[in-house]
Amino acid sequence: MTRQWPAPAKLNLFLYVTGRRPDGYHLLQTMFQFLDYGDTLSITPTGGGCIRLLNPIAGVVENDNLIMRAARLLQLYCWAADDPRAPGADIRLKKVLPIGGGLGGGSSDAATVLVALNAQWDCGLTLATLARLGLTLGADVPVFVRGEAAFAEGIGDQLTPAAPAEKWYLVAVPPVSIATTRIFGDPELRRDAPRRSLAELITVPFRNDCESIVRKRFSVVEQHLSWLLEYAPSRLTGTGACLFAEFDTEAAARQVLLQAPAWMQGFVARGVNVSPLHHALSGARNSCPPAA
């Protein structure tokens, strides 16, 4: 049976770089919140162990595609490589989240595949196990797997459930893709933010330590952020390129979007503390099987 599963975007409501490990990974303190907006995956379980992405992403080699890597990872975790009972899947992706936008699209797609196939293949794995598998694919995958807004530390993998205000956001999407490695590798990036408790962090204005570097290196991001700041508190998410302006109501966010210049593309979405993926998972568990 084919099911559709959301792969929501995330925002980093704040992001502080507190250090760097010897292996090159950066130490962070950040707040993840989901959006009620994102990619959609249609997944049909099949027999014979074959996993297919029916509409590959242009320019992304299959072996590098996080959707395929996640599906194969789960398959090999639950079945031996030569087990004829291993199931397969046909996967179709409706991609709306930009690549290199800081909205977590690739990580979210991977997490959705893990959660969805765990359900559709009847693997029976816990979210904790899926999160551990997801961490091998990327530092942001576990938060999407667990599906709760979270305060994250370490490399982004030490998660504490959190409940930030569920505001409305105008998300601007500049026409540029920014590799995380480029920003974290920038010699001018400050990596000495003090580690603070969550109780302290939520009492001070939110900031993103990557923002000044991205604004300096990418003039189009600077242009977009300068415009947004005229209307509302606005920041970079992740290492960019996307930016978000926060509002108390949907109407206020949409009103500003209507005033956006022709060179600005974006969308309005609500911040949510429970992932749309987990609402879909609950619905799948509660639904009855189709009549024979």
The residues that are catalytic are: 10, 140
List b or e across 235-251, with b for residues whose CB sees 16 or more CB atoms inside 10 angstroms: bbbbbbbbbbbbbeeee
Is 226 exposed, middle or buried, given 0-12, 13-18 or 19+ CB atoms closer than 10 A?
exposed
Is 212 exposed, middle or buried, given 0-12, 13-18 or 19+ CB atoms closer than 10 A?
middle
DSSP-based three-state secondary structure for 90: strand
CB 280 within 8 A of CB 45: no
Distance (Å, whole) CA 96 – CA 108? 12
User: DSSP state, 94?
Assistant: E
DSSP-based three-state secondary structure for 93: strand
Residue 66: name the closest of 11, 165, 145 by CA: 145
Is 147 exposed, middle or buried, given 0-12, 13-18 or 19+ CB atoms closer than 10 A?
buried
